[in-house]
Chain A
Amino acid sequence: MALLISLTACGKSAPAVSAPVPADAPVSAGFNGTDLAWLQLMVPMTENAVELLRLTPDHGDNPALTAATTKIAESENATLARLRALRDRAGLPASNVHEGHRMPGMVTPADLVVMRDSRGAEFDQRLLALVGAHLDQAGVLARGEQQSGQDGESKSLAAEIARDWAPQREDLTRLGKT
């Protein structure tokens, strides 16, 4: 039977390696990897959603939809301010680490280009799809943050997002049927 002997010395001295730093060591006190990933994803997602919702009053022609999305826009704006404050407290840079990267549910810069040129019923139809996908993904992410996050304030915000998701989604679904 072959007996294996450890073969490390080949006449070369490799650099000494100290005990590796655990990968899940918190970058910022109180925030774990889930908190940081959630913040870095939610900030650009919400920023793009806010940009999109800003177009609604001028581009759409369904007053009921405009009313519903104006309410969502207020909520998204408030969420964005809190997300940015948490991101700063976590010591994360303001740069978007997901720039140019196709993420589920994210309103993309390409979507915004299309929507700026879109009007009326066509705009409303696209808006429903984009805002619906954004809300759904924000809900999925909020549940993950509630489950696996560590920072209390981040988890509370996630709980609020998860709670608001159902009524907002219901409004959109109802409007989509009319």
Chain B
Amino acid sequence: MPSKFALLATASAITLAAAFITTASTATADNLVTHHEFQVNCSPSHHQPDDPIVFPGLPGASHDHTFLGNKTTNANTTTQSLQAAGVGATTCLAPDDLSAYWFPTVLNGSQVILPNFAQVVYYKSGVLDYTSVRPFPPGFRFVAGSPSATIGEFQNAPGAVEGWECGDSFHNWDVPVTCTPGSQLNIRYQAPSCWDGVHLDSADHKSHVTYPNKATLTCPADHPVAVPMLEFKIAFPVSGDMSQVHLASGRGFTWHYDFFNAWDPETLAALVSHCINGGLQCDPRGFDLYKPDRGQVLGPNYRLPGRP
């Protein structure tokens, strides 16, 4: 007897297949849903001691941050300023993603270590019912993790994935003492994905969002709206002696990141719908390599069809 999952997946696959005129074959081997995600790829843009969420209007108030995405992000950034930067004013592959992504700058002693290739930010389903995930509203923002976390808090945080990794060293809750020369220092961390449905931000920049219930993977009643679960996967080109490697916010367990949504709403909605609600494992074009018959969301220029 088919599981509830398979039925849901089939239903959504048929809906999706119908949505793409170019899709000729009917989904057949598509029934097993293993993923519900897409990724965005964004290179570092700039770094400066600004934080438009925590210290709006106060340039220089923050520890140093490394910014990805929108090229204009600074202390005075607002939803309007991100949108006004204009299509393509981003280091992300999709020109319609004008969102700002940032995290504390990694330093080796006093040397700034910037990622040296396009980094991955996953947009996943944090809840069991991936068909219920809806796009972030414009201007939605939050801080994931905490710069004042203790090592225990970081290790036990609901967003923790594998801590700091390099080479074959995993589950480090601070920066490892040494890393195999030539390896990169990696971190993955998941953001809360249940929204109160009302506030784009909150006084502590956290309370308007929360993590799904760990046992049921559903959103709690006071934060009922499932939004994409961001997972930053960031790699830093630093290895060997790591004794002087730290974050601008302090030790490795002060890792945190910020997100400020300024996607073109139509593009974000199309990616969420096709890849997350549709149960696919999409690349930054909204294409699932393993289910090519399902089509793709964005064209070769990483924009919706019809956009030059």
Contacts and interface: CB of A to CB of B under 8 A. Distances in A.
- The answer to whether A and B assemble together is yes
Interface of A: 1-8, 10-12, 14-18, 20-24, 27, 32-34, 36-38, 41, 97-104, 137, 140-141, 144-145, 147-149
B57 A18 contact: no
Contact of A11 (B54, B131, B226): B131
Q: Identify which of B148, B249, B270 gathers the most chain A CB atoms within 10 Å of its CB.
A: B148
Interface of B: 8, 11-12, 15-16, 18-22, 49, 54-63, 75-76, 78-79, 129, 131-132, 134, 137, 139-141, 147-148, 150, 197-201, 203-204, 224-226, 248-250, 254, 269-270, 273-274, 277-278, 295-297, 304-306
Contacts of A100: 148, 150
State the main secondary structure of chain B at its contact with A. Answer: loop
A145 B58 contact: yes
A21 B198 contact: yes
A11 B10 CA distance: 12
Given A101-B254, A144-B59, A148-B58, A3 B201 contact: no
A10 B60 contact: no
Given A7-B16, A100-B148, A103-B63, A37 B56 contact: yes
Nearest to A91: B203
B19 A5 contact: yes
Contact of A15 (B12, B225, B270): B225
Given A4-B19, A20-B140, A23-B201, 5 more contacts: A7-B15, A24-B78, A34-B57, A34-B58, A147-B57
Nearest to A5: B19
Contacts of A8: 134, 273, 277
A10 B140 contact: no
Contacts of B250: 101-102
A55 to B, nearest CB: 24
